[in-house]
Amino acid sequence: MSVLPYIIRRLVLIIPTLIGITLATFTISHVIPADPIVASLGQRAQDDPTIVGRYRHQWGLDQPLPQQYVTYVGKLLHGDLGVSISSRRPVMDDIKQYFPATLELSTAAILFSLLIGLPLGVYSAVRRNQLPDHLARVVSLVGISLPVFWLGLIGYIVLWYHFHILPAPSGQLDRTVNAPPLVTGVVLIDCILAGNSAAFVNALWHLILPAAVLGAYTLGIITRMTRGSMLEVLVQDYIRTARAKGLSGASIVLRHGLRNALIPTLTLAGLAYGSLLSGAVLTETVFGWPGIGLYATKTAGSADFPAIMGVALVTALLYLFINLVVDVLYIVLNPQVRLN
């Protein structure tokens, strides 16, 4: 089976998966004991029940649940995620506003994890039970064990408050720096497109600490997974054959060992990236990062059903797409993988 039919088949299988996701998120969000209209109106909901009834009719909440679901799916088929009850804006517009910040932060975090975790795991396996191996295991254990919110608070207290190395946790840019014109929503890319080097440097400095804090956990598990996979690969017969042929140690480790050891690590990194893209609530809260996690927290607090379901659907799509990309990369890394 070639790659293209496999991709088409996987894309077709996404349809029933999305139907199940919409049904699950709709059911869960509507059975919780909360009233989004009352949460949105506040005191006015108690003073004037007529207003509550008018708002329920406006948002379709006075209809039976099956009818509400059919209406919701019908709008989805036209690319309409509904209108947020709390912000009074289309949910798609809200997601477009908040998601680029999460995309920027999550991509920086996963790159940080891979650029440090992969070499550290490989070196730890090569130097098994030696000092570098022990240090690598300590680093991975610390990254996995420390809570994200604690690590973030300690990081900016030490690096910003005491040593003034990194900027204050005030979002993506200093308040004194003019933001670049909005093109992609990703501040670093928009700074490059605008040729604004000062804003680019400032945005990069604001990104370093949140990305490191968010990527610490993923760094730990990638290091451990890479080390374990490399230890299994380095005792295989083809590695012994490569050594018998007189190949250099670097060639054996990187060309013959790492390529096969990357398969489980790639799966882990793909799932971790999907999880990061769903919104790093704690990291975004600590650093004032205007991402999708912060938006999801606000809307969940006000029982904003359209926003909650919109975020859940977009997150599910991201997971499905990333899993598809990871499966295709399997074939690139290891041609012996059979699609059937």
Residue spans of the domains in the chain: they are 91-295
Question: What percent of the chain is modeled with pLDDT above 70?
Answer: 94
* Over residues 192-216, mean pLDDT: 92
Q: How confident is the model at residue 114 (pLDDT cuts 50, 70, 90)?
A: very high
pLDDT in tens, 70-91: 888 898 888 888 888 888 889 9
pLDDT of 108 above 70: yes
Q: What is the pLDDT of residue 1?
A: 52
Single out the residue of 285, 266, 277, 269 nearest to residue 147, CA to CA. 285
The pTM assigned to this predicted structure is 0.86
Asked if the model's pLDDT at residue 340 lies above 60, the reply is: no
Q: What pLDDT does residue 170 have?
A: 76
- pLDDT interval class at 318 (50, 70, 90): confident
More confident of the two residues 256 and 309: 309
What is the rounded radius of gyration, in angstroms, for the C-alpha atoms of the chain? Answer: 24
Task: State yes or no: pLDDT of 40 exceeds 90.
Answer: no
Task: Report how far apart the first and last C-alpha atoms of the chain are (Å, whole number).
Answer: 6
What is the percent of the chain where pLDDT is above 90? 24
- Structure-block tokens of residue 17: 């998966």
Supply 153's token pair. Answer: 């608070």
Q: Exposure pattern of 66-81 as b/e (b: 16+ CB <10 Å)?
A: eebbeebeeebeeeeb
The CA-CA-CA angle for residues 158, 214, 209, to 5°, reads: 35
Alpha-carbon distance 245 to 263, whole Å? 25
Whether residue 63 is predicted with pLDDT greater than 60 in this model: the reply is yes
d(CA 28, CA 67): 16
Helix, strand, coil shares of the chain, percent, nearest 5, are: 75, 0, 25
Weakest-pLDDT range from 47-51, 181-185, 271-275: 47-51
Look at residue 87 in the predicted model and tell me its pLDDT: 82
Mean pLDDT of 1-27: 84
Distance separating alpha carbons of residues 17 and 320, to the nearest angstrom: 9
**105: pLDDT confidence band, cut at 50, 70 and 90?**
very high
Residue 90: strand pairing partners:
83
Q: Classify 224 as helix, strand or coil.
A: helix
DSSP 86: T
Q: Looking at residue 279, what is its pLDDT? A: 64
For residue 211, name the pLDDT band (cuts at 50, 70, 90). very high
Residues 6+ apart with CB under 8 A from 71: 60, 63
- Under CATH, which architecture does the 91-295 domain have? Orthogonal Bundle (1.10)
Measured distance CA(216)–CA(109) in Å, rounded: 8
Residue 179 in this model has a pLDDT that exceeds 60: yes
With tokens 């200093």, the residue in question is 174
Is the predicted pLDDT of residue 44 greater than 70, yes or no?
no
The per-residue pLDDT of the chain, averaged, comes to 85
